[in-house]
Amino acid sequence: MKLREYKKAITKAFFVVLILFLLCFGVFSCTTLLSDQGNYVNLEYATFVQLDEPEPNAPAMRMHTTAGDIVAELYPQQAPDYVAQFQELAESGYYDNTYIFQVEQGVYFEAGTPNADGTLKAGTDGTYEKVEQEITADLWPFRGAFCVPVTSQEGNFWNRFTKSMKKYCGTRFAVCNTIELDDAAKEELASVSDQAKQISDAFWERGGIPNYSQQMTIFAQAYGDESFATIDAITSVAVKDASGENGYTAPKEDIQILGFEFGTYEAVSAG
């Protein structure tokens, strides 16, 4: 075979293989994306546990802060790994005198660091920063939800492309207040699906941050007038200009978590 013909044959074979690869890749990736569009969850069997007042014997906590207290039900069934770590650390005093380091006015606050700028303690080995994300159709970022942002991911290029990265969260957490929900936002929420109507109605009635849905581990939910008054007070404080690598807007006057009490909802609600 002449060199020119040989090159043509190799080129043709290469394009055939390339086309077959792209076809196979396209079928696989479409299947993957269809089954994993933003942490797809089946709402058919969801229980929406946050919509009901907690049972008296439900596991709960009272968070003492310099701006007031927040009482919240814990969800060890839906987020077992995170609740276990959080309670262990809180009972050991890890969160005592830690800071609220970020406030998005009216919307949420972030807390749980020993330094007011949101950084972890020097020398932290990351042991408690590797809790795998726990997503469930039972829990949503309604007003008063305790959420844990993703702080790191693990995987290769293929995992990233197919949205199969392992996602981890750590010791810092956020508490939702609410974004402004107008008629257009309600219509958009309701248009997702008939199954989603109960959730869209709940966001409309209770407030929250819908765009956080199925993006974070949720491990607790605040209840009671005292709790929401504290959340409102914290998210309405004056904040500093954005600073540091992460651009945190910390309260101008420090707000700290003083400590936690754990017990049944009935017990911690009584103060």
The domain that contains 166 carries what CATH number? 2.40.100.10
Residues 17 and 84 in one domain: no
**Which residues, including other chains, have CB under 8 Å from residue 242's CB and lie 6 or more apart?**
248, 249
Dump pLDDT digits (tens) for 127-165.
899 999 999 999 999 999 999 999 988 877 776 666 668
Helices (H), 99-206: 157-161, 183-190, 197-206
Residues 175, 207 within the same domain:
yes
Residue 6: which domain range? 1-35
In a domain, 156, yes or no: yes
Residue 232 lies in a domain: yes
In a domain, 42, yes or no: no
pTM attached to this predicted model: 0.81
Say how many domains are in the chain: 2
In a domain, 40, yes or no: no
- Same domain? 25 vs 114: no
Q: Are residues 165 and 188 in the same domain?
A: yes
Higher pLDDT, 79 or 242: 79
pLDDT digits (tens, 9 = 90+) for 174-230: 999 999 877 776 677 666 666 677 888 899 999 999 989 999 999 999 999 999 999
* Inter-residue contact 100 to 258 (CB < 8 Å): no
